[in-house]
Structure 1
């Protein structure tokens, strides 16, 4: 599994890159001011960053329990992205409708479009992140994971 430091790096990178892409694109597509989309994006980003950490930790622990490993197949990556965005959709719908003074239906349509963007983005980001920062094949020394660092992986007995 990933260390705490690695999970924090993952979450911050995901939110910063996502926000830089989201605000101008959403402003252009939906016709709202850049500062409105930026504020929605920033608040959503803070909430999503916390959700990202908790969700990925729960997902990895579930994978370990069910599959005995945390390496994701392409199908599991798609499921991972869908479940992540579905959780955020439930939280954001009422707040977006209120802030933009639009109906819940209009907010739902907007949130579905935004969730679609972030679902594709999450799939690409997480896959790229795993390529740039690959998971260790063996469990790291437990004494080093608390601080988010790790040494060379322990050798598994053959």
Structure 2
């Protein structure tokens, strides 16, 4: 993946994650839309940076094409990514919402459960759609030669 594509991948992921997280938190908590939106935008910004760094590291260990990753490899990816992200975001969530670290932990865990499922679906779909687009590009390029 090129740097531009990694940026696109991360921004699209976080944009959709913010929308889903804010809607879910509005349904299940009493926090105001503005507080939740600000919190999730801050967390998404942290997550984009972490996503970019983590993907570079992960790709060094798993070098086969992304669409060929196994369920186990994807679960390892999600586990390590989310554990690192929790360490970065719990203090931020506590500060912005004015809650304790324990309360932020439980709130962040609920968001993490949603994001974990979402991350698996998003990355699986992205990798397979990307592979099809690349195949179509190569086929069109060969047809025009």
TM-score of Structure 1 vs Structure 2, range by shorter chain: 0.7 to 0.9
How far did residue 106 of structure 1 move? 1.1
Equivalences for 1:6-155 in 2 at 5 Å? 6-64=5-63, 69-70=64-65, 71-134=68-131
Task: Give the secondary-structure state (helix, strand or coil) at the position aligned to 2:131.
Answer: coil
Q: Flag the structure with higher helix content.
A: 2
After the TM superposition, list the runs of 4 or more consecutive aligned residues in structure 1 that deviate by more than 2 angstroms.
none
Q: Which runs of 5+ in 1 are unaligned?
A: 138-150, 153-158
Of residues 101-110 and 115-124 in structure 1, the stretch that sits farther from structure 2 once superposed is 101-110
Contact 2:43/2:92 (CA < 8 Å) preserved in 1? no
1:140 matched residue in structure 2: none
Say how many residue pairs are matched: 134
Normalised to the residue count of structure 1, the TM-score between the two structures is 0.78
RMSD: 1.8
The one of the two structures with greater contact order (alpha-carbon pairs below 8 A, sep at least 6) is 1
User: How many Å separate the matches in 2 of 1:42 and 1:22?
Assistant: 10
